[in-house]
Copies of this chain bind each other. A is one copy, B any other.
Amino acid sequence: MSAPNSEFRAAGTAVEKPKNPYGPNPEDFLSNVSRFQLIESTLREGEQFANAFFDTAKKIEIAKALDDFGVDYIELTSPAASEQSRSDCEAICKLGLKAKILTHIRCHMDDARIAVETGVDGVDVVIGTSSFLRQYSHGKDMNYIAQSAVEVIEFVKSHGIEIRFSSEDSFRSDLVDLLNIYKTVDKIGVNRVGIADTVGGANPRQVYELVRTLKSVVSCDIECHFHNDTGCAIANAYTALEAGATLIDVSVLGIGERNGITSLGGLMARMIAADRDYVLSKYKVHKLRDLENLVADAVQVNVPFNNPITGFCAFTHKAGIHAKAILANPSTYEILNPADFGLTRYIHFANRLTGWNAIKSRVDQLNLHLTDNECKEVTAKIKKLGDVRQLNIDDVDSIIREFHAELSNTPVVRPTQTGEEIETEVSISEPEVKKQKTEENQV
């Protein structure tokens, strides 16, 4: 949907970049899809993940890796949470990272006084505004909330550092209450206000509406925080940016309370589909896999098999009808380019769903020569065995070699049997793919 803009710009130029159907919607005139920022919260929200215990050395290792990746802000656990949390916060502030360091506190002067002494670049203040949290958590009314907010904000501002005010459970808060308090804190000069889907129940169009409404009330930036209980945390983040939010809270692998928040990697996938140039200019996405492995090891989880980008099968193509097109042009079935992430694609041809185009490609790799009809014939043999049991590459290669030998009446040259297990996928390396495709760069 970037067409109108690029057509306008292209008026004077001969060559035009093809339109990206997943690009920012030109109707969203407040959209920040192409200028979003990340508040990385693995060391705050992520610490609330069931398995997380980061010692000082691990926190520093993670903070440095996040900074190297290019995140805009790193958010740390409240220094009021424990003595070690406080000293770790100070230690990370002293690292001299490019990313700004934030800490996340309750809307309370006790916490604010400790926070401003740590050396952070900014303080993220949060208070529950829904009737649930007002009743069952802190028991305060909106007047009290507004008064505390003003006191804490002015105190933090007087120390010359950034301040964010966020509601908690924003989507179950009274809209008028919400807008009132956001307007109040905007007037006294917060850097940004935050919307939080604390229980993970919001849906994308609801997010769009609330952010658009808030955007008409405040002049400061809008930050959003989405939990993933109902699987919408990445989509909600994208929709918030479309509506005019600027900053998204993320964590590595989405770790956080319960099943977590918007994941850094998932949001990268989403944003690259919309504006690859912007994302690649800011973030070292080829380091995503190392970053995820670092955090996965630290909290003792496996990277989910279906993780965007880094799941083991994210670039594996299996169905026969897919393989043909992927071999001709990877963009037919890939919206992301694995090479951007230092990864490769796989054509999984050793199975009963395989097609003759995939097998023909394997025949070529084996440096054998078969006509298309011969490839179709050997494919039928492979599919027949694939119906009986799981195949591996050895199986397929044996069938192809035997078939080829029968045709040419030469003895089969078999590879040495080593007994080693061989993976059932083969990597199609970049040069091989390039040989076979015609228009790699067409989006």
Contacts and interface: CB of A to CB of B under 8 A. Distances in A.
A48 B328 CA distance: 20
Contact of A306 (B83, B255, B425): B255
A175 B1 contact: yes
Contacts of A335: 199-201, 229-230
A192 to B, nearest CB: 21
Nearest to A270: B230
A308 to B, nearest CB: 5
Interface string A238-255: 110010000000000111
A152 B312 CA distance: 37
A234 interface: yes
Nearest to A45: B319
Interface in A309-355: 311-322, 324-325, 328-329, 331-336, 346, 348, 351-353
A383 interface: yes
Contact of A204 (B53, B175, B205): B205
B48 A260 contact: no
A208 interface: yes
Interface residues of A, number: 114
Contacts of A438: 136
A314 B266 CA distance: 18
Contact of A50 (B81, B202, B236, B316): B316
A137 B203 contact: no
A270 B135 CA distance: 26
Nearest to A25: B205
B351 A204 contact: no
A3 B177 CA distance: 10
Interface in A263-279: 263, 266-267, 269-270, 272-274
Interface string A174-212: 111000000000000000000000111111111010000
A352 B348 CA distance: 47
Contact of A83 (B82, B202, B384): B384
Nearest to A318: B48
Contacts of A317: 257-258
B234 A230 contact: yes
A307 interface: yes
A84 interface: yes
A398 interface: no
With most chain B CB atoms within 10 A of its CB, the pick from A203, A208, A329 is A203
Contacts of A22: 171, 201-203, 206
Nearest to A328: B136
A218 to B, nearest CB: 18
B205 A353 contact: no
A201 B332 CA distance: 12
A203 B274 contact: yes
Contact of A257 (B200, B324, B333): B333
Contacts of A328: 136-137
Given A172-B2, A318-B257, A319-B257, A390 B53 contact: yes
A25 to B, nearest CB: 7
Given A22-B203, A133-B332, A231-B234, 15 more contacts: A21-B171, A21-B172, A50-B346, A53-B351, A81-B383, A136-B438, A199-B332, A204-B205, A229-B314, A230-B266, A231-B266, A257-B316, A257-B333, A302-B304, A304-B306
**Closest A-B pairs by Cβ, 9 of them:** A235-B235, A304-B304, A84-B387, A231-B234, A201-B335, A204-B204, A231-B266, A136-B328, A50-B313
Interface of A: 1-4, 21-22, 25, 47-51, 53, 77, 81-85, 106, 128, 130, 132-133, 135-137, 169, 171-176, 198-206, 208, 228-232, 234-236, 238-239, 242, 253-255, 257-260, 263, 266-267, 269-270, 272-274, 301-302, 304-308, 311-322, 324-325, 328-329, 331-336, 346, 348, 351-353, 383-384, 386-390, 424-425, 438
